[in-house]
Amino acid sequence: MHPIDLTIIVVYLIVMALVGWWSAKKASRSAEAYFLAGRSFPWWIIGLAHGASGVDVTGTMWFVMMFYIYGVKGVFLLWVWPLFTVIFRMMYLGTWIRRSNVLTGAAWMRTRFGHSRGAELAYISVVAYAMIHVIGFSSYAFRGIAAFTRPFFPWDFSDDTYGVAMLLITGIYCVVGGMYSVVMNDVIQFVLKMIAAIAIAVIAVVLISPQQIMARVPAGWDSITFGWKLDLDWSHLMPRLHDRMYGATDAGGDGYSLFMFFTAMLLFKGVLVSAAGPTPNYSIQHVLSTRSPREAALENLMMAVVSLAPRFLLIGAIAVLGIVFFSDDLRAQGKDVNFERILPMVVNNTLPIGLKGVMIAALLASFMSTFVSTVNSGAAYVVNDIYKRYINPHSPPARDVALGWVTSSMVILLGIAFGFLTKNVHAITGWIVSALIPAFVAPNLIKWHWWRFNGYGFFAGMVAGTLGAVLKFFVTVEPVVSFLLILAISFAASMVTCVLTKPESDAVLKRFYLDVRPWGLWGPILEKCQQDDPTIQKNSDFSRDMFNVAIGLIWQTVLVTVPIYLVIQHWRQMWISTAIFVVTSVILKFSWYDRLGPGQMYMTKDGQIAGDRSAYPLTHPRED
């Protein structure tokens, strides 16, 4: 790299070191300061950080590869994760979660199941799943940064060596700074990412014509529409790619050839996963870091905007540059071709002096933001849900923070260890989305909507699903089959165990219903609440929430298609997508934003609660 590029990267690292020093001082005050930044940041900062945390090097490499291979149809492959979990949190789940006023997802189990033996088991099962989830995502980060880093250095070390070095260096920053370091890194990352995305998009549009792109891709690559079967024929352009697209998964194929069936399954899976709520990782930590339930909803709005449009402007531009300038090189590699190398190839060989340094700094920041968020959430579970719960409930803040440092270090080392067991980015991505994520869906979905569901049922479903996910790590199964099988096993375990055991106490269920105010099968609890207070009304927002979710999915999709159509210079489709974005934004303004509840509750000097108590519970009482 040119000295200017190296200088930019070094300056970035120095800035991050200073931020880490500042964060360490702020985070050392208490456990809440370390894990939730003291709930001191406004919603738009938390949302920006949350969106930036979702932009990681590994995922960016994977999305570049998918867009290169599948073209505009790759928009629907984003549902593999699925990205529209943010829409469900934005429309209603974010406010439901924030009303609990706890530090972690495991502690949220107390809100739902109380303190019974079943609740205790549910609590433990979430902690166990969270740790497996955090280690899995640390391995995912390891594999991505290992593949990304190596091409930029002259030393002939293995990918794994570079991955270990990056995780250890980043880990120092992560360990001492807690949630403050997460948020500050994310803000810096967003600025760098915006600069890099706009610059590389300008380069792609100026240097490349639409005709050059279409000459190197199969017919239909630029169309968002599709039939029952995938209709992209790469055989005459890149035979190895054609084999990958239509080959069986056990032979290294993607398994997406029945495209309509596959996308329908992705939508089905995505709705279930999204309605279950966020997994116990940095997603729920960001929601819990907001200052009120209303800000929890707005935080997810900010996250959606930050994590989509700039990111896919960057992804689309990199993929286009890869198609035009590196297709011949990839084809020449034959059976040894690695499409995960497209991103580092483009960055290393096409960007001008200065911009390369900014781009690498932005991608390093992307890696750091996701990695430190993941590690911080894992440490939060160990400190708050194991140590303070079972070992030393009255430990001083300094000891809690020190234990956070130790736990964060252990999570990093375990992530490296399991990272060595993964083959590549695509393999670890497949395991996460087809096994690890569905492991939590059934019990977490039922807990919101059925009063009879208890802690024992939740525990059984989580254990069955998690064991299935761990087994899937070592066994090859079709992704769709894996998802459905783990979902079915988890659901059956939840329901059977729940029916065979007693429900939670009326006091616990009534408190949950009054505080969280969910819709669903809560009739018996509503009647008991109304016996105490006849003014209590049923939550009748189901239809409006689902309408907003449907509009939100369209709104989110065009946030992706607008930048993609821009970089491939399909102006008509870009303006149509822009018009759809404007229309859906106006609809959501009236059907969602104008109907959000009040902000923080507070207690006046005469002891009265200000605000709508039926909408939001009193969380942090304070004088007017």
pLDDT in tens, 505-514: 999 999 899 8
Amino acid 98 reads R
CB atoms within 10 A of CB 380: 32
Name every residue whose Cβ is closer than 8 Å to that of residue 579 and which is 6 or more positions away in sequence.
none
Rounded-to-integer distance, Cα 244 and Cα 254, Å: 6
* Angle between helix 57-70 and helix 239-246 axes, rounded to 10 deg: 100
Backbone torsions φ then ψ of 609, nearest 5 degrees: -85, 125
Rounded-to-integer distance, Cα 75 and Cα 514, Å: 40
Beta bridge partners of 603: 609
Percent of the chain residues topping a pLDDT of 70: 83
- With cut-offs at 50, 70 and 90, classify the pLDDT of residue 620: very low
What pLDDT is stored for residue 24 in this prediction? 57
| Residue 543 pLDDT greater than 90, yes or no | yes
- Report the candidate in 173, 169, 408, 374 with the shortest Cα–Cα distance to residue 400: 408
Rounded-to-integer distance, Cα 103 and Cα 101, Å: 7
CB atoms within 10 A of CB 589: 10
| Residue 250 pLDDT greater than 70, yes or no | no
On average, the pLDDT of the chain sits at 80
- With cut-offs at 50, 70 and 90, classify the pLDDT of residue 26: low
Beta bridge partners of 610: 602
- Per-residue pLDDT, averaged over 24-40, amounts to 52
| Residue 612 pLDDT greater than 60, yes or no | no
Q: Find the DSSP H helices in 383-454.
A: 397-419, 425-431, 441-449
**Highest-confidence range of 189-193, 216-220, 355-359, by mean pLDDT?**
216-220
| Residue 76 pLDDT greater than 50, yes or no | yes
- With cut-offs at 50, 70 and 90, classify the pLDDT of residue 323: very high
Task: Give the model confidence (pLDDT) of 258-276 as tens digits.
Answer: 788 888 888 888 888 888 8
- Per-residue pLDDT, averaged over 590-609, amounts to 60
What pLDDT is stored for residue 433 in this prediction? 75
With tokens 């709930």, the residue in question is 39
- With cut-offs at 50, 70 and 90, classify the pLDDT of residue 584: very high
Buried b (16+ CB within 10 A) or exposed e, 45-81: bbbbbbbbbbbbbbbbbbbbbbbbbbbbbbbbbbbbb
- With cut-offs at 50, 70 and 90, classify the pLDDT of residue 613: very low
| Residue 553 pLDDT greater than 80, yes or no | yes
Amino acid 214 reads M
What pLDDT is stored for residue 619 in this prediction? 38
| Residue 616 pLDDT greater than 60, yes or no | no
DSSP assignment, residue 1?
-
What pLDDT is stored for residue 610 in this prediction? 41
Backbone torsions φ then ψ of 518, nearest 5 degrees: -80, 165
609: part of which helix (H) or strand (E)? Answer: strand 609-610
Cα end-to-end span (Å), the chain: 58
CA gyration radius for the chain? 24
**Candidate from 371-375, 480-484, 570-574 with smallest mean pLDDT:** 371-375
Name every residue whose Cβ is closer than 8 Å to that of residue 446 and which is 6 or more positions away in sequence.
453, 457, 458, 461, 494, 495
- Report the candidate in 484, 456, 453 with the shortest Cα–Cα distance to residue 468: 484
What pLDDT is stored for residue 461 in this prediction? 93
Backbone torsions φ then ψ of 603, nearest 5 degrees: -110, 130
**Candidate from 105-109, 483-487, 546-550 with smallest mean pLDDT:** 105-109
Task: Give the model confidence (pLDDT) of 110-151 as tens digits.
Answer: 888 888 888 888 888 888 887 787 777 777 777 777 777 777
Rounded-to-integer distance, Cα 359 and Cα 314, Å: 10
- The Cβ-side half-sphere exposure at 201, using a 13 Å CA radius, reads 22
| Residue 28 pLDDT greater than 60, yes or no | no
Rounded-to-integer distance, Cα 130 and Cα 126, Å: 6
What pLDDT is stored for residue 623 in this prediction? 31
Percent of the chain residues topping a pLDDT of 90: 26
- Report the candidate in 261, 222, 265 with the shortest Cα–Cα distance to residue 561: 222
Rounded-to-integer distance, Cα 362 and Cα 316, Å: 16
The CA–CA distances, whole Å, from 487 to 27, 89, 248 equal 39, 21, 23
295, 101 contact by CB (below 8 A)? no
More confident residue, 290 or 587: 587
Rounded-to-integer distance, Cα 593 and Cα 555, Å: 14
224: part of which helix (H) or strand (E)? Answer: none
**Candidate from 184-188, 330-334, 440-444, 562-566 with smallest mean pLDDT:** 184-188
Rounded-to-integer distance, Cα 195 and Cα 526, Å: 52
- Per-residue pLDDT, averaged over 165-184, amounts to 64
Beta bridge partners of 609: 603
- Residue-range domain boundaries for the chain: 3-436+537-598
Name every residue whose Cβ is closer than 8 Å to that of residue 50 and which is 6 or more positions away in sequence.
186, 282, 283, 286, 299, 300, 302, 303, 306, 307
Structure tokens at 239: 């035979």
Query: How many Å separate Cα 93 from the centre of its chain?
Result: 15
**Candidate from 169-178, 281-290, 432-441, 534-543 with smallest mean pLDDT:** 169-178
| Residue 618 pLDDT greater than 70, yes or no | no
- Per-residue pLDDT, averaged over 590-597, amounts to 88
- With cut-offs at 50, 70 and 90, classify the pLDDT of residue 604: very low
Tell which CATH classification among 1.10.10.10, 1.20.1730.10, 1.10.10.60, 3.40.640.10 matches the domain 3-436+537-598. Answer: 1.20.1730.10
More confident residue, 400 or 624: 400
What pLDDT is stored for residue 614 in this prediction? 36
